[in-house]
Amino acid sequence: MSAILAAHELGRWYGQVVGLNDLTVEVGPGITGLLGPNGAGKSTFLKLIAGEIRPSRGTVRVLGQDPFGNRELYRRIGFAPQQDALYDAMGALEQVTFLLRLSGFEARPARERAQTALERVGLDPRLKRKVKTFSKGMRQRTKLAQALAHGPQLLVLDEPLTGLDPIGRRDMLAIFRTLAAEGAHVILSSHVLHEVEALTEEILVVHRGRLLAQGRVGEVRRLLSRHPMRIELRARAPRELARALLGLEEVVSVRLGHDDGLVLLETRDAERFFGRVTSLVAEGGFGVQSLESVDAGLEAVFDYLTNG
């Protein structure tokens, strides 16, 4: 399936400050997590995708089109920026309806869509309070409602989980999964790494305005060859198991843990190790109870990339 987003040598700077530098990437359908430290260029990238700002150099194509100043494409994109840009004097229903009217919907369909969107994000459309009285979580839900109310093909979400309590974050993740199942595409940035990992394995990592990594979490981890993968095993005969593991050429180091039965090892070829360890364990009678890779997840991959 063709890419929904393609950037080539994309750059954006603000005077002497580089927001994004020479980024070339393609993003496929579904849900993609955009990750990076503060100031890495994530928000700049998302604003370029949404057509909110123009590139300083290079090109970006979204759903096959140049997004900047493209009114036709705006109808196919839903954008929830990180900044809290809401009309404080309006209620949530009034605000979402107003924005739908601006984008060309007639009054009745606009109001119906706004009601549906607010209900979908967990806000009562009958609520009479002004947005200025909303909590951070309620404001975030309002932004999400106005981003998805017109039924976009692509949702571009900058830190959509910020300000939500655990139940709110769970609800939002469920909404994103449902939208993807219905055929929409989602690109979202977030600092809540374990929740991004629960949502999707497809990630982009940017740092200092440049692309560090792209792909599935497991694929990116395997490419980090300078960081041996750490694995923990528990066994009834840990010393015997440790001696046997040292005989595998792909194993870099083995040591016993502080807990009884714990064996800690590092390997530079995890795929080969996992392919061989099953038979070794079955033949050796070490009483292995568990085996776990402790740094193959998104948290560890992110730390290795950004600290390296």
pLDDT of residue 48: 97
The whole-number pLDDT of residue 218 equals: 86
Domain count, the chain: 2
- Indicate the DSSP class of residue 228: P
Whether 303 is in a domain gets the answer no
Please check whether residues 217 and 232 belong to one and the same domain.
Answer: no
Among residues 221, 239, 261, the one where a domain terminates is: 221
From CA 85, how far away is CA 269, in angstroms rounded?
A: 48
Q: How far apart are the first and last CA of the chain?
A: 33
CA separation for the pair 196, 190 (Å, rounded): 7
Same-domain pairing of 245 and 155:
no
Q: Are residues 196 and 237 in the same domain?
A: no
> 264: which 2 tokens?
């800690």
On whether residue 102 sits in a domain, the answer given is yes
Q: In 3D, which of 123, 141, 10, 19 has the Cα closest to residue 80?
A: 141
Torsions phi, psi for 149 (to 5 deg):
-60, -35
Same domain (yes/no): 266, 211: no
Is residue 265 domain-shared with residue 131, that is, in the same domain?
Answer: no
Judge whether 299 lies within some domain: no
What is the greatest pairwise CA distance in the chain? Answer: 75
Give the CATH number of the domain where residue 148 resides. 3.40.50.300
Q: What is the pLDDT of residue 49?
A: 96
Q: How much is the pLDDT for 47?
A: 96
Q: How many CB atoms lie within 10 A of CB 26?
A: 13
Same structural domain for residues 16 and 118?
yes
Does residue 300 lie within any of the structural domains?
Answer: no
- Percent of the chain at pLDDT > 70 equals 99
Q: For the domain that residue 255 is a member of, what is the CATH number?
A: 3.30.70.920
In terms of domains, do 45 and 130 share one? yes
Token representation of residue 72: 């036709």
Residues 37 and 154 in one domain: yes
276 found inside a domain: yes
Query: Do 119 and 161 share a domain, yes or no?
Result: yes
Q: Last residue of a domain, which of 192, 221, 250?
A: 221
> CA 219, CA 296: separation in Å to the nearest integer?
10
Domain residue limits at 273: 227-294
Q: Are residues 258 and 170 in the same domain?
A: no
Distance of CA 280 to the CA centre of its chain: 37
Q: Are 186 and 28 in contact (CB under 8 A)?
A: no
Residues 215 and 233 in one domain: no
Residue 61, in any domain of the structure: yes
Residues 30 and 76 reside in one and the same domain: yes
Contact 204, 25 (CB under 8 A): yes
Alpha helices in the chain (DSSP H): 42-50, 71-74, 92-102, 107-120, 136-148, 166-181, 193-199, 217-223, 238-246, 270-284, 298-307
Torsion of CA 222, 223, 227, 231, to 10 degrees: 0
- Domain stops at, among 221, 254, 269: 221
Q: Determine the pLDDT at residue 308.
A: 61
Enumerate residue ranges in the chain where pLDDT < 50: none
To 10 degrees, what angle do helices 107-120 and 92-102 make?
Answer: 130
